[in-house]
Amino acid sequence: MHRLRLEGSISESFFNFLNGIPTIADRPMLKAIARRAVWENEGTQHILVRYLTTAVDRATYNLADTIELLNLVEGRKPAGIGDLLARIPGWQEALRQQVDVASGSKPFFNEDIRMLHGGGRDQRGQDDVRVSTKQRELEFLGRLQRILMP
């Protein structure tokens, strides 16, 4: 019961908006997201409202991005839309650098070890899962920025 935060409140107008979301199966999860404590602040609440209304209007809404938005706001704690939009470019740049570093070849600490791994043909596996996770996060930030921009 605590995890669902059933005691959390949603304004009647926003509740009615959520009931109008085209994907009926997503509505219970969206209501659970909207009840989270992070949205009690007016600034963060405005992030969720603008995100959902714009995404639905542009037909770009999807539940996975809404969950990512929740995780982002809970983790990074932006004060409002302006703060969030100001911080997104820095996060994008950091993610681009992490993707570039992780997808490049890793140096060997010893020449003999390099030769054991195929010499110039580095056969060590890349950390594809981590790179793809960072890439998806980077893509989400781009979508979020486009949706929230006035």
What confidence tens digit (pLDDT) does each residue in 18-30 have?
999 999 999 999 9
Per-residue confidence (pLDDT) for residue 99, from 0 to 100: 86
Whether the predicted pLDDT of 96 surpasses 50: yes
Encoded tokens for 11: 């304004």
> Rounded CA gap, 37 and 140, in Å?
23
State if pTM tops 0.85. no
Supply 131's token pair: 């790179």
Q: How far apart are CA 148 and CA 52, in angstroms?
A: 10
Phi (first) and psi of residue 30, to 5 degrees:
-65, -40
Average pLDDT over residues 91-117: 77
pLDDT at residue 12 tops 70: yes
For tokens 């199966």, what's the residue? 25
Going by pLDDT thresholds of 50, 70 and 90, the confidence category of residue 9 is confident
Distances (CA, A) of 71 to 48, 77, 105: 12, 10, 31
